[in-house]
Amino acid sequence: MPDCEVIVHEPEQVETFSQDWPDNRLFYCTAQGGEFMNFVDYEGIICLIDADTTIHRGITDSELVGITPKRGQFTACLHAYPAVKLHESRQWLLPTEDFVVNQKYIEISAAMLIAHSEDWKKMRDLYVRHFKVIKNKLRHHAATQWLISFLIQKHFSLKIGPAWLHNAIWYRGTKAEISKGMLVVRNTPVIFNHTKWNANQ
């Protein structure tokens, strides 16, 4: 059993948390944008997963090599197949010209992100600063994932992970399916299953 440290923090310790944001959730607090680094004393590769994600299996050495990001890079997976263009979702999601979006940028799922600790720290600083700009213009919790998708592709490089790394039965266009109680893609068990158990909260 590897050593581990349990870190507990109050929502108010996350700088981007607000009691009155977003409008579509009674309670929403996330450190996806890297703010968890305020509570972590670790140098190395960090894999962030949402609380409503189930780990179905371990990872092989060869799989690990394939999904490990370089420095200055984030590994992420899609939440829609084919991928949604970020500029298309901005038109209805973020009615502001504060962000000039490259036509090639796509939406990724922020429910599973892998990067080196120094890149998570850079992400934290970028995210907190930019979140303050969009917070009052976009009152939907999807602002978090949109902004993370934007920042990764503007300030880092994006490595798209395979469908078996992170997936969900409810992701649009996914090939994932339930087989014998497991989420699989082409008979390969998915490692991180985004179950969405809190979707109605």
Predicted structure pTM score? 0.92
**170 vs 81, 167, 176, 178, CA distance in Å?**
11, 9, 9, 11
What are the residues facing 106 on neighbouring strands?
85
The residue type found at 88 is E
- Is residue 80 within 8 A of residue 172, CB to CB? The reply is yes
Q: Which residues of 9-40 are buried (b: 16+ CB within 10 A; e: fewer)?
A: eeeeebebbeeebbeeeeebbbbbbbbbbeee
pLDDT at 197: 62
pLDDT tens digit sequence for 174-198: 999 999 989 999 999 999 999 976 4
Domain 11-194: which CATH number of 3.40.50, 3.30.1370, 3.90.550, 3.30.70: 3.90.550
pLDDT tens digit sequence for 1-20: 467 778 888 999 999 999 99
> In the predicted model, is pLDDT for residue 84 greater than 60?
yes
Tokens linked to 100 = 């000039």
CA distance 85 to 73: 20
Of 179, 180, 141, nearest to 16 by C-alpha is: 141
pLDDT at 45: 97
Q: What is the mean pLDDT of the chain?
A: 90
